[in-house]
Amino acid sequence: MAYVMEPLACDPQHVKGMSERLIVSHYENNYGGAVKRLNLIEEQLAGLDFATAPTFVVNGLKREQLVAMNSMILHELFFENLGEAGEPGPALREALDSDFGSFERWRAEFVAMGKALAGGSGWVLLSRSPRDGRLVNQWASDHAHTLAGGRPILALDMYEHSYHLDYGAKAAGYVDAFMGAVDWAAVDRRHAALGPQPGTEPA
DSSP-assigned letter for residue 182: B
What's the whole-model pTM score?
Answer: 0.91
Is the model's pLDDT at 161 over the cut of 70?
A: yes
Average pLDDT value for the chain:
93
Is the model's pLDDT at 196 over the cut of 90?
A: no
Please state, for a pLDDT cut of 70, what percent of the chain lies above it: 97
33: left (phi over 0), alpha (psi -120 to 50) or beta: alpha
Task: Report how many helices (DSSP H) and strands (DSSP E) the chain contains, helices first.
Answer: 8, 3
According to the model, what pLDDT value does residue 198 have? 59
Q: How confident is the model at residue 202 (pLDDT cuts 50, 70, 90)?
A: very low
Q: What is the pLDDT of residues 12-51, one digit of tens each?
A: 999 999 999 999 999 999 999 999 999 999 999 999 999 9
96 and 135 Cβ atoms separated by less than 8 Å: yes
DSSP-assigned letter for residue 154: E
Q: Report which of 162, 186, 192, 182 is spatially closest to residue 174, judged by C-alpha positions.
A: 162
Q: What is the pLDDT of residues 42-65, one digit of tens each?
A: 999 999 999 999 999 999 999 999
According to the model, what pLDDT value does residue 197 have? 66
- 19-81: CATH topology is Helix Hairpins (1.10.287)
According to the model, what pLDDT value does residue 20 have? 97
The C-alpha atoms of residue 137 and residue 40 are separated, in whole angstroms, by 32
Is the model's pLDDT at 203 over the cut of 50?
A: no
Is the model's pLDDT at 156 over the cut of 50?
A: yes
DSSP-assigned letter for residue 183: -
Which one is predicted more confidently, 86 or 109? 109
Domain ranges of the chain: 19-81, 90-193
The C-alpha atoms of residue 178 and residue 114 are separated, in whole angstroms, by 10
72: left (phi over 0), alpha (psi -120 to 50) or beta: alpha
Q: Report which of 126, 121, 124, 75 is spatially closest to residue 100, judged by C-alpha positions.
A: 126
The C-alpha atoms of residue 106 and residue 97 are separated, in whole angstroms, by 8
Q: Report which of 53, 126, 58 is spatially closest to residue 95, judged by C-alpha positions.
A: 126
The C-alpha atoms of residue 147 and residue 128 are separated, in whole angstroms, by 9
Domain 90-193 matching CATH 3.55.40.20: the answer reads: yes
Q: Report which of 160, 185, 198, 193 is spatially closest to residue 81, judged by C-alpha positions.
A: 185
Q: What is the mean pLDDT of residues 105-110?
A: 98
